[in-house]
Structure 1
């Protein structure tokens, strides 16, 4: 249960003081039981199982406190002897304004994710093929204040990620064996100081810097990075400004070799992870060759509700393209698009993804798998949300250069809520190329994904909602198959006082070139909210 502290730490922020917590707070614990039918439409197999679960939904939105937490534990009892299973699923985000200048921020997630990008994508109870339970969270203070005419910002973030080992991965025979992620702890410190155009110069100027370190459990991996940069903003008109920045950066990623047996095969521990060779030297997986980087672009703000920023530059010894666009359509509705290019790991990128999510969001997880590994739609202003699909395309043990684009639209009008999210993600892996055995160094993974969500409150006691999604995954490992996954589900909810009933149906499919399948599911659930 100690892993649940990732979510509990964020949830505990719901009650920073008795006065503020009681202003506009709603905390609803519940229990729920369900009966599920799963039919394999390819071979005709049918199985059924029962579940019982408990969870809590919490929301606090006051002047000083912004918290949303949704967590559920569920246990499935199989009827055919295939084995019981447990799932933890939850998402939490919190901002607490400690003083006018200091806020405390936290976020956490518990979900299941695909382990090997070359394998099948199955999240059904009783089948943990190629899936792992993931726990991740971060916390830390933010400071935003003024020193004379200058604006000063700083933050510290402590992050932790833990991944359990998967079952059968379904990777085709002959493919190399990849390591399993264990855990990682990261620390990040950032600070910047800047002035606006006209304060001390005709242009705005900002000096910023950051330092980060991550220590991972597998093969004693270590990331160390930091940068210093200066940015200049030159207004051209009231709506348009030119921007340019340059800086110095140093990154070093290193690890040790796996222990090999007499036949040259990596030795595995009882969980299937590679054992680290204690006599191995520390090998460099990646180190910046050209530490000087630069970028330039524009900032366009045609109105207080709309902003576009686009930059092009040189970094990581190649061209880089980054940008963002946000637009507030109306109260509770907005658009967000982001283009990114940075050096990441699974744990660090997941913490960054959590930090980018709003503190008020719509829960759109699959009713059958209860996963929070797709798009999360916001409910306030232009904080439209974000998509975690690119992070969860697979659980990677190596560090990588992450490039891609995410776009999300969220509408919240009266009784109707709906949203669309889509994106593309590329990862190019860094690993030592001088060690023994297979290496992922230089290998590229690609993922394309799209998701749509809609919900409608029929009246004060009943509602309908539905999800549809599709994804395409491909690894650059030689002979790795292209994997397609997709699904659609719909649910009807009705409350009878504290009692609540749910009816859901869904259809899911995957295509792995050499294997494919289609499943249909139906569920009836009854819950009690305290």
Structure 2
């Protein structure tokens, strides 16, 4: 995917929310749909946190529209501290836009940036695309369109770990792109509430030369691209309409098609739900249904000697003529019991426990906003997907109103966004880019606050991925592998009067695996920047950052870079 195509996709997401007409409802996703969410199976019987937040924004009646395109010229110096000692210099030309819309029927937050790096001396030229866009718009009463996109970069190792790696452009850095979009519809037919939604997503890890130890040896299991689809349909009546309890039925569909060996995840389920109101603020929901979950793939293409064929991009070539074979097949009864507590518009809690994927499953969410200047979010999740679907789900769980937290030198995402509205971190989805399908379990927590002129936030979490592949396939080594990702991201920023300000951020990732061929990996970094307005639209910036990574492998040295930037930005 070329940089101009990615920029067009991000701009399209931004433009859709800006130009579409006004009108009504919010998108919801069903059972354990978000990587950072994982709501109850009877979610259709309760208003989702995302929908209620949007409703709250609408009731305020205010409309805010801010779109700030800009151009920027920077001089950047990067020193490789380990394993080498190169000092490289670039002139960096950037164009980008920050946008924010908040209204009764439309919302958007977006930050999109393209950087052209012109190297001095032996420094190579490069291009960097970075940004996040997330929003929705109401097309007609009851019909809502939602979309989002992400572009960032990482250093990907042969163990599939994806860690931030500083500024140095070239083959050592891997581009990651993801976008999704789709409609939702909500209406009533007499006493019956009807809901339906559909999301289509695409994710690509653009690494033209995936890791190969030696010609003819096995390729690293690095994700290439996938297309994911999610759909939900629900119908039900509230308590005390036709009975003392609420009644409902629903169905959901999830499918992700991964380019590597034509892997496919397909998850179908149907369920009936009963909602029991316990009090004004508490309700209990029970669900009983049937699920059919499959993971399948095709064999690798082989040469005349029977050796697997590796393509020019370093991934295995798929034998399209080979039949699709199952690696995971679970079908049967599913059940779920959930408790939902909403004592006020500022506090909501849901927790569920039941049977999915042929075994025990549990999850829940907590959202607490003690005032207008702070919020706490916690989510426990459990789902089945590949890297692309997990990233799409996490992107969808971002709030509608946020400010992107980036490295001031590289423009890379720092793991979280700044927001006082809901879950706001992406780090849990970015830790590993193995191509194999996985069962993901974990939690994500974030806290954000505003104190006077200070904005602060911290996010932390844990993501455990159990990989699934056929024992007789080329990916057999991945079957049963467990990757664990502990992550932390924090930011702090403030204003110095009306013309100046500063910001700082830190992040850390610890990835461990039971794969005997790989070891633990760690990534960490920090940044600090200062800006001052020289004129009404002209801003000067000074920034420094440091990034490092280490691997539990005596043959791989620790990697450290330090960078400094001085630049001017003109905003239109």
Give the alignment's TM-score, normalised by structure 1. 0.92
* Offset of residue 134 of structure 1: 1.7
Q: 1:3 aligned to 6, 11, 18, which one? A: 6
Number of equivalences: 525
Q: Residue in 2 aligned with 1:426?
A: 464
Q: Distance in 1 between matches of 2:528 and 2:120?
A: 25
Q: 2:268 aligned to 209, 223, 226, which one? A: 226
Deviations 1:314-346 (A, max 9, x none): 211222120100011222531111100011111
Contact kept, 8 Å, 2:275 with 2:284, in 1: the verdict is yes
Contact kept, 8 Å, 2:444 with 2:461, in 1: the verdict is yes
Q: Distance in 1 between matches of 2:337 and 2:213?
A: 43
Contact kept, 8 Å, 2:166 with 2:546, in 1: the verdict is no
Q: 2:371 aligned to 330, 334, 344, which one? A: 330
2:63 corresponds to 1:32? no
Which SS does the other structure have where 1:280 is aligned?
coil
Which SS does the other structure have where 1:272 is aligned?
coil
Q: Residue in 1 aligned with 2:183?
A: 141
The correspondence of residues 143-222 of structure 1 with structure 2, limited to 5 A, is: 143-165=185-207, 177-222=219-264
Q: Residue in 2 aligned with 1:505?
A: 544
Q: Residue in 2 aligned with 1:341?
A: 382
The correspondence of residues 370-381 of structure 1 with structure 2, limited to 5 A, is: 370-372=411-413, 374-379=415-420
The correspondence of residues 386-405 of structure 1 with structure 2, limited to 5 A, is: 386-405=424-443
Q: Distance in 2 between matches of 1:215 and 1:72?
A: 29
The correspondence of residues 417-496 of structure 1 with structure 2, limited to 5 A, is: 417-436=455-474, 438-495=476-533, 496=535
Deviations 1:279-316 (A, max 9, x none): 3221212221x421112232222323111111122211
Which SS does the other structure have where 2:88 is aligned?
strand
Q: Residue in 1 aligned with 2:44?
A: none
* Offset of residue 32 of structure 1: 0.9
Q: Residue in 1 aligned with 2:566?
A: 524
Contact kept, 8 Å, 1:78 with 1:126, in 2: the verdict is no
Q: Distance in 2 between matches of 1:307 and 1:120?
A: 34
Q: Residue in 2 aligned with 1:47?
A: 88
* Offset of residue 207 of structure 1: 1.5
Contact kept, 8 Å, 2:219 with 2:316, in 1: the verdict is no
Which piece of structure 1 moves more, 28-37 or 334-343? 28-37
2:54 corresponds to 1:15? no
Root-mean-square deviation over aligned CA pairs:
2.7
Q: Distance in 1 between matches of 2:122 and 2:90?
A: 10
Q: 2:126 aligned to 85, 89, 99, which one? A: 85
Contact kept, 8 Å, 1:161 with 1:185, in 2: the verdict is yes
Q: Residue in 2 aligned with 1:280?
A: 322
Q: Distance in 1 between matches of 2:470 and 2:511?
A: 25
Contact kept, 8 Å, 2:219 with 2:314, in 1: the verdict is no
Contact kept, 8 Å, 1:332 with 1:411, in 2: the verdict is yes
Q: 1:416 aligned to 430, 454, 468, which one? A: 454
Alpha carbons of structure 1 residues 464 and 231: separation in structure 2 relative to 1, 3 Å: same
* Offset of residue 177 of structure 1: 3.2
Q: Distance in 1 between matches of 2:118 and 2:399?
A: 35
Which piece of structure 1 moves more, 133-142 or 513-522? 513-522
User: Where in structure 2 are there 5+ consecutive unaligned residues?
Assistant: 24-61
Give the alignment's TM-score, normalised by structure 2. 0.85
Which SS does the other structure have where 2:413 is aligned?
coil
Alpha carbons of structure 1 residues 225 and 77: separation in structure 2 relative to 1, 3 Å: same
Deviations 1:380-419 (A, max 9, x none): xxx2332211211022312111111001112135532111
**Relative contact order (C-alpha < 8 Å, sep 6+): which is higher?**
2
Alpha carbons of structure 1 residues 472 and 263: separation in structure 2 relative to 1, 3 Å: farther
